[in-house]
Amino acid sequence: MYFVGEQKLDAIKSIRLLAASLLMLVAVIYLIVAALVVGLADLMALYGIEIAVFMALFGLVYITIGIGLFRDKRLFNYLGTVVPLVPLLIKVTTIKTEPILLLSMAFEIAAILCCSYLIIHKTRKTQNT
């Protein structure tokens, strides 16, 4: 039998794990796309090596943030909110409508919302105690 406090903790843990999983999934997508761009000459000519390096770098950063979220480190709640904004804003301003980019944008938005909720919840919790 769960008490109200335990249910809230389970919900917070679920949101944190969802954010971590989404960022890890986006990291895998970024690393696969980076490998495809580097591996295929016609994609390399279309996008350039800079895009592949950018995506690989953010893939590795997302993996780091995901691990931090899985370990419930508070700093990574903030990083999970701020860091995904950079590639998200770049994708929005370049208006690339490729399905894989739209999917990664949706996952990034969901992860940002989850991490923002975690920050708000932790702030309220510390103010009430």
- Express each pLDDT in 38-73 by its tens digit: 777 666 666 677 778 888 999 999 999 999 999 988
pLDDT grade for 19, boundaries at 50, 70 and 90: very high
Q: What is the pTM of this model?
A: 0.82
Q: What are φ and ψ of residue 119, in 5° steps?
A: -65, -45
Residue 43, burial from CB neighbour count under 10 angstroms (0-12, 13-18, 19+): middle
| 66-118 residue pLDDT tens | 999 999 888 999 999 999 999 888 888 876 667 778 888 999 999 999 999 99
Residue predicted with more confidence, 125 or 111: 111
Say how many Å lie between the first and final Cα of the chain, rounded.
25
What integer pLDDT is reported at residue 4 of this predicted model? 54
Distance CA 49, CA 53 (A): 6
Whether pLDDT at 14 is above 50: yes
What integer pLDDT is reported at residue 44 of this predicted model? 62
The CA-atom distances, in angstroms, between 94 and each of 33, 88, 104 are 17, 10, 15
- Least Cα distance to 115 among 33, 44, 21 occurs for 21
What integer pLDDT is reported at residue 1 of this predicted model? 42
